[in-house]
């Protein structure tokens, strides 16, 4: 109960701050120097937050689709030989830092949202792929035998048994990808993507700690809310499936 109250309080604080940030100026004023503004006002914090979330959502959706398709492919009999290749491809995003991916993508795609989406997409592939594969291959033996006894085709077993049972682990992979992408997306502002990194960078360039705190605070609260949102969904799915 206490955790829910704290989450609700954090969500209410975040919403109030994004709607009327100027009213929180006294809270951040002690972190300014030489009469600098306490609240970032060059761009609407609400619009930056919505843009940040949209970029993260698009990247997570892309990583989930591709990661799940690859996991299904390599866990079928015809695709098992491609497992090493799939693991190599999905590990690329974790091998190359997102900053390096941005540096490579900008000459090809130009400045803006595109390079950031590519970096987040690649960075989020591995958690989704590994969790989906674990869910698809970790079925209890009695479930496998029951499916065979029912005469289900491979396609029917995938749709009716494997994917539903793998859903909690898949959601866990999406949760990890979403939280990581939420923080990593801030670097997108270095290539002109509209993210909350704009506030943090403005604070660093002007030595205004208040701006840095505002950007970090919004990202941090969003990360906590998204983490607990996915976790609640995972628990709900597990309860419906009768899995502890």
Q: Output phi, psi for 41, to 5 deg.
A: -130, 5
Query: Tens digit of pLDDT for each residue in 200-228?
Result: 999 999 999 999 999 999 999 999 999 99
Q: In this predicted structure, what is the pLDDT of residue 151? A: 66
Residue whose C-alpha is closest to residue 183's, from 171, 203, 200: 200
Q: What are the structural domains, with CATH classification, of the chain?
A: 40-241 (1.10.3720.10)
Q: What tokens appear for 47 in the block?
A: 């619009």
DSSP state letter for 198: H
Identify the segments of the chain with pLDDT beneath 70.
1, 141-149, 151-152, 154, 242-244
Q: Going by C-beta distance under 8 Å and a sequence separation of 6 or more, which residues neighbour residue 30?
A: none
| Cα 206 from Cα 88, distance rounded (Å) | 41
Q: In this predicted structure, what is the pLDDT of residue 242? A: 66
Give the percent of the chain with pLDDT over 70. 93
Cβ burial 90-119 (10 Å sphere, 16+ → b, else e): beebeeeebeebbeebbeebeeebbbbbbb
| Angle of the 45-75 helix axis to the 2-19 helix axis, nearest 10 | 130
Q: In this predicted structure, what is the pLDDT of residue 93? A: 78
Q: What is the rounded end-to-end Cα distance, in angstroms, of the chain?
A: 20
Residue whose C-alpha is closest to residue 62's, from 114, 138, 137: 114
DSSP state letter for 17: H
Cβ–Cβ under 8 Å, residues 32 and 210:
yes
Q: In this predicted structure, what is the pLDDT of residue 60? A: 95
Q: What tokens appear for 104 in the block?
A: 């490579």
């Amino acid at each position: 109960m206490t955790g829910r109250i704290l989450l609700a309080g954090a969500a209410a604080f975040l919403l109030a701050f994004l709607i009327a940030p100027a009213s929180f100026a006294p809270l951040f004023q002690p972190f300014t120097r030489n009469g600098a503004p306490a609240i970032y006002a060059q761009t609407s914090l609400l619009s930056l937050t919505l843009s940040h979330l949209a970029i993260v959502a698009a990247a997570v959706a892309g990583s989930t689709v591709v990661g799940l398709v690859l996991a299904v492919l390599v866990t079928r009999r015809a695709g098992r030989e491609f497992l090493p290749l799939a693991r190599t491809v999905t590990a690329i995003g974790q091998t190359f830092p997102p900053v390096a991916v941005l540096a490579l993508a900008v000459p090809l795609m130009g400045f803006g949202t595109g390079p950031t989406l590519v970096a987040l997409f690649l960075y989020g592939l591995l958690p989704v792929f590994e969790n989906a594969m674990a869910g698809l291959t970790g079925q209890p033996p009695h479930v496998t035998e029951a499916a065979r006894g029912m005469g289900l085709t491979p396609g029917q077993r995938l749709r009716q048994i494997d994917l539903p049972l793998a859903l909690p682990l898949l959601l866990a992979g999406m949760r990890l990808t979403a939280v990581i992408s939420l923080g990593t997306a801030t670097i997108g502002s270095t290539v002109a993507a509209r993210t909350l990194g704009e506030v943090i960078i403005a604070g660093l360039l002007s030595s205004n700690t208040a701006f840095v705190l505002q950007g970090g605070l919004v990202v941090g609260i969003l990360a906590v809310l998204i983490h607990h949102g996915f976790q609640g969904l995972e628990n709900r799915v597990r309860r419906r499936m009768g899995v502890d």
